[in-house]
Amino acid sequence: MTGLDIEKDKIIEMACIITDSDMNVLAEGPNLIINQSDELLDSMSDWCKEHHGKSGLTQAVRDSKISLQQAEYEFLSFVRQHTPPGHCPLAGNSVHADKKFLDKYMPQFMHHLHYRIIDVSTIKELCRRWFPIEYKLAPQKKASHRFLFLTLDKCLYRKLMQKQHRMTVHLRSIPLSSLVIKFLCWVLTPLRT
């Protein structure tokens, strides 16, 4: 996105992967760069200008011929091939921000998805707080802020967390309420379909 202001900023890149409940990648969707005006790109925040400039995204947006409507059509076609309507949740890192933009700019795509979202930043924060030693062992995020790299990093991060945190003994040693233990067991074991 060109920023986080839903009223003035726009989507500039989208990528998608379909996974099973164990976070195994089943299909990689398109990785699309969406054309936006020079005026919009020039009005981005300094952070966006620096990061999108270094990654090559800003120039790729200028060069792209793909419209927002084309991107929505391609993504909707892709998820329809792999998921029935209303079953696939939107997942990602701090995905609530993405959801706002998708609700506004790609309503047909969002209508196909489940109403729930899976925000892996919640899992990351819980692991950081409750398992600080193991958290430090997790792979570090690459410098790139490009969408597909972040998505794939998060899948790998999730798999690592699953493997490292099948720790019944560790869970017993932490004074947590049974509700929190149930949540942790759900988060740290393979999801059921």
Could you report the per-residue pLDDT of 163-182, keeping only the tens digit for each?
444 443 344 444 444 334 44
Q: Is the pTM value of this prediction over 0.85? A: no
CA pseudo-torsion sign 129, 119, 148, 81: positive
In a domain, 157, yes or no: yes
In a domain, 109, yes or no: yes
In a domain, 21, yes or no: yes
Instruction: Look up the CATH number of the domain holding residue 67.
Output: 3.30.420.10
Report pLDDT for 147. Answer: 52
Of 193, 147, 114, the C-alpha closest to 17 is 147
In a domain, 5, yes or no: no
Confidence of residue 138 (pLDDT cuts 50, 70, 90): low
Confidence of residue 140 (pLDDT cuts 50, 70, 90): low
Count of domains observed in the chain: 1
The larger pLDDT score, comparing residue 176 to residue 126, is at 126
In a domain, 8, yes or no: no
Amino acid at 28: E
The range of the structural domain enclosing residue 27 comes to 13-187
In a domain, 164, yes or no: yes
Active-site residues: which are they? 145
**Range from 3-17, 57-71, 169-183 carrying the lowest mean pLDDT:** 169-183
In a domain, 6, yes or no: no
User: What is d(CA 95, CA 113) in angstroms, rounded to the nearest whole number?
Assistant: 14
In a domain, 111, yes or no: yes
Residue 155 has pLDDT above 60, yes or no: no
